[in-house]
Amino acid sequence: MELITPGVGLIFWTTITFLILIFLLGKFAWKPILESVETRNKEIEDALILAEKTKKEMEQLQSDNKALIQEARIERDAILKEAREIKNSLISEAKEKAKLEGEKIVSSARETIKNEKVAAVAELKNQVAALSIDIAEKILKKELSTDDKQESMVKTLIAEVNVN
Amino acid sequence: MHRSLTTDMIRNIFFFILVLISQVALADSGHVEHDHEVEFDAKETIIHHILDAHDWHLWDTQSDNGEVHSVSIPLPIILFTDGNLDVFMSSAFNHGHSKVVKGDREYELDHDHIIETSGKSVVDLSITKNAATLMIAAIILLLLFTAVARNYKNGNLLPKGLTGFMEPLIVFVKEEIAIPNIGEKHYRKFTPYLLSLFFFIWLLNLLGLIPFFPGGANVTGNVAVTLVLAVFTMILVNVNGNSGYWKHIFAPPGVPLWMYPIIVPVEIVGVISKPFALMVRLFANITAGHIVILSLISLIFIFKTAWASVAAIPMALFISVLELLVAALQAYIFTLLTALFIGLAVQEEHH
C-alpha cells in the first residue's frame, strides 16, 4: 500500500522544512511575542497590585482620619467640660464673694446707722437740755420779774435749807 | 466587539461556501476526461488525489481532436542514482508520456513513481507537491508571525489588528496546552516548539482543504509528514526525559521484581507506540476526511448525472465544514499529546 509507505523524499524535505521553521519562528516570532505578552501580563499584574495597595492605603488613611476626628471630638468635649466647670466655679466664687461683700456692706451700714442714731440722740439730748435751760431761764425770768416774787423765792429756798 | 465577531463569522462562512463551490467546479473539470474516454474509477481517482505528486496539477484542457492535456506547475525532480545527482523539472516527463535520459540513466514515470528503466535503485528527493506545500506553509507562517511580532516593536504591548486575532491563539497554546501539561517550571523551554507544531499542522490541514493551488495537497494526510512530526516529538521527549522518566521505564516503582520481564518491554514499546499513535492519528483523520469528500463528489461521476450533486454537494459541504473543525482539532490533539508526553518526561517525582 503506497498510502501507508512513507516516502524518503518527503521525510527529507519535511525534516529540513520543519527544522528551519522551528528555528526561524522561535527566533523571530515566538521569542518576541511571548516576551511581550509576558511583559504585558506582568505590567497588568503590577498595576493591579498597585491599585490594591493604593486602595488599602486610602482605607488606612480614611480610618486614620476617622480616629483623628474621634480624638478631636473627645478633646473638644473635654475642653468644653473643663470650660463649663471653670465657668461654674467662677460664678459660684463670684456669688460667694458678692455675698460676703454684701454682708460686709450691710454690717458697716448698720454700724453707721447705729453711730448716726447715737449721735442724733446725743444732739437731741443737747437740744432738749438747751431748750429746757431756755425755758427754765424764761420761766425764772418771769418768776423773778418782780421784787415780791424774788423775796418769796428766797424765803422758800431758805425754808428748804432750814429743813435740811 | 461582539458584532464584529459575528460579521467575521458570517464572512468566513461565505468564504468557505465559495471555496466549496469552486471545489466542486474544479473536481468537475478534473474528471471530464474519465467520463469521456474510460469508465470512471472512483477508487483510483481518490487514491490519486490523496497521494503525493511530482507536479502540481491545475486543470485539463481538451484539444479539437479530443486529446486531453493536463495543465500543471512543474516541480523540481532530484534523484540519486549510483552516486549521481540528477536534477530536472517534472515537465520533462511530459505527464508520463516521455522518458528522461541523464548520462547512462533513463528515468520514466510509472503511476507517479520514478523508476530507472535498467532497474537501478533510485533515491527520490524531489520537491513534490507535498514538499512544495510544506515550504509554502512555512513561508506563510514566517510572514504571518513575524508580522505579529512586529506589532510589539518599540515597547508597544497592545495587540492590534492581525496581532489581536493571532495573540489569543498563541496564548491559548501557551496557557491551555503548555502550562497545564508541562508545568510552570519547564514549559518555557518547550512552548516555541509546541507553537510551531500547532500552527504548522493547522495551516497544512487547512491548505489541504482548499481544493486548488496553493492548496489541494494532502500533506498532513501523508504518512511521511506525520512520521517526521511524530519523530520530532519522540526525540524531544526522550532527550529531555529526566531520571524519573527513565526509572519508570527500566525500573517501574511499585512493581514486583518478577513482573519486570513483562512490564519493562511494555514500557519500552510505549516509548515508540506513543509517537506512533500520534503519527497514525493525524494521518488517518486527515486522509479519511479527504476520502469522504472526494467520494461524495465522485458520486456525481459514478451516476453520470448532474442531479447527483443535489445530494452530493450538501453532504460534501457538511463534511467540509466538519473537516474545518477536524483541522483545528487534530492540530490541537497532536500538540496537546506532545505537551503531555513532554510533561510526563520532565515532571518531578512526587511520591
| pLDDT tens by residue, B211-270 | 887 788 899 999 999 999 999 999 999 999 998 899 888 888 888 889 889 999 999 999
Q: Do A18 and B148 touch (CB under 8 A)?
A: no
CA A68 to chain CA centroid, Å, is: 20
Helix, strand, coil content of chain B in percent (nearest 5): 65, 10, 25
Q: What is the tally of structural domains in chain B?
A: 2
pTM over 0.80: no
pLDDT recorded at residue B18: 53
Q: Which of residues 160-189 of B touch A (CB under 8 A)?
A: 167, 170-171, 174
- Chain A nearest C-alpha distance from B145 (Å): 5
User: Nearest to residue B23, comparing CAs of B307, B328, B300?
Assistant: B300
Cell numbers found for residue B268: 519500552
Residues B113 and B150 in one domain: no
Interface check for B200 against chain A (CB to CB < 8 A): the answer is yes
Domain ranges, residue A106: 10-155
Chain B residues whose beta carbon lies within 8 Å of the beta carbon of residue A8: 123-125
Asked whether residue B162 falls in the same domain as residue B108, the answer is no
Q: Are B93 and B75 in contact (CB under 8 A)?
A: no
pLDDT at position B30 = 43
Choose, out of B47, B75, B134, the residue to mutate when testing the contact with A (most A CBs < 10 Å). B134
Assigned domain for A135 exists:
yes
Tell me, yes or no, whether B281 and B204 share the same domain: yes
Model confidence band, residue B113 (pLDDT cutoffs 50, 70, 90): confident
Q: Is B316 found in the same domain as B211?
A: yes
Question: Does any domain span residue A163?
Answer: no
Measured CA distances, B344 to B188, B213, B317 (Å): 16, 41, 40
pLDDT above 90 for B108: no
Q: Identify the pLDDT of residue B187.
A: 92
Same domain (yes/no): B110, B237? no
Check residue B226 and give its pLDDT: 95
- CB contacts, 8 Å: B171 with chain A: 37
Residues of A in contact with B142 (CB under 8 A): 21, 24-25, 28-29
Query: Domains in chain A: how many in total?
Result: 1
Burial class (CB in 10 A: 0-12, 13-18, 19+), A109: exposed
Query: Which residues of A fall within a CB distance of 8 Å from B87?
Result: none
Residues B89 and B215 in one domain: no
- Best to test chain B binding among A4, A8, A15, A21 (most B CBs inside 10 Å): A21
Ramachandran assignment for A96, one of left (phi > 0), alpha (psi -120 to 50 degrees), beta (any other): alpha
Instruction: Check whether B8 has a pLDDT greater than 90.
Output: no
User: Looking at residue B151, what DSSP letter applies?
Assistant: T
Residue B230 lies in a domain: yes
Query: What is the C-alpha separation between A117 and B124, in angstroms, rounded?
Result: 161
Lowest pLDDT segment from A20-34, B21-35, B278-292:
B21-35
Whether residue A164 lies inside any domain: the answer is no
Distance CA B268, CA B279 (A): 18
Single out the residue in B103, B126, B149 at which a domain terminates.
B126
Rank A96-110, B10-24, B40-54 by mean pLDDT and report only the highest: A96-110
Q: By residue range, what is the domain housing residue B215?
A: 129-346
The whole-number pLDDT of residue B28 equals: 43
Q: In this structure, are B97 and B158 located in the same domain? A: no
Mean pLDDT of B294-323: 92
Helix (H, G, I), strand (E, B) or coil at B247: helix
B21 belongs to a structural domain:
no
Q: Give the pLDDT band (50/70/90) at residue B24.
A: very low
The residue among B126, B146, B165 that closes a domain is: B126
Q: Which three cell numbers stand for residue A131?
A: 431748750
Are B148 and A22 in contact (CB < 8 Å)?
Answer: no
Question: Any idea how long chain B is?
Answer: 351
In-domain check, residue A161: no
Question: Could you tell me if B189 and B254 lie in one domain?
Answer: yes
A54 lies in a domain? yes
B297 and B316 in a common domain: yes
Point out the least confidently predicted range of A132-136, B130-134, B172-176. Answer: A132-136
What was the pLDDT predicted at B13? 56
Q: How confident is the model at residue B322 (pLDDT cuts 50, 70, 90)?
A: very high
292-351 in chain B: CB under 8 A from chain A: none
If pLDDT is split at 50, 70 and 90, which confidence band does B127 have? very high
Tell me whether residues A29 and B145 touch, CB distance under 8 A: yes
Decide if B243 is inside a domain.
Answer: yes
B220 touches chain A (CB under 8 A): no
Beta partners for residue A74, in sequence order:
none
Q: Is A23 on the interface with B (CB under 8 A)?
A: no
Same domain, B189 and B134: yes
Question: Does some domain include residue B64?
Answer: no
Residue A53 forms part of a structural domain: yes
In the predicted model, is pLDDT for residue B313 greater than 80?
A: yes
Indicate if B220 and B300 belong to the same structural domain.
Answer: yes
Specify if B289 maps to a domain: yes
Distance CA B91, CA B109 (A): 11
For residue B15, pLDDT over 80 is answered with: no
Residue A5 lies in a domain: no
As a whole-number percent, the residues of chain B with pLDDT over 90 amount to 46
- Do B163 and B116 fall within a single domain? no
Q: Would you place residue B26 in the very low, low, confident or very high pLDDT band (cuts 50, 70, 90)?
A: very low
Cβ distance of A25 and B191 shorter than 8 Å: no
**pLDDT band at B181, cuts 50/70/90?**
very high
Nearest CA in chain A to B50: A3
| H helix or E strand, kind and range, residue B139 | helix B129-150
At B29 the pLDDT is: 43
A1 has a chain B CB within 8 A of its CB = no
Domain-embedded: residue A114: yes
User: Is B142–A25 a contact, with Cβ atoms under 8 angstroms apart?
Assistant: yes
List the single residue in A2, A11, A20 with the smallest CB-CB distance to B138: A20
Tell me whether residues A34 and B135 touch, CB distance under 8 A.
no
Q: Is the pLDDT confidence value at A67 over 60?
A: yes
CB pairs under 8 A between A and B: 124
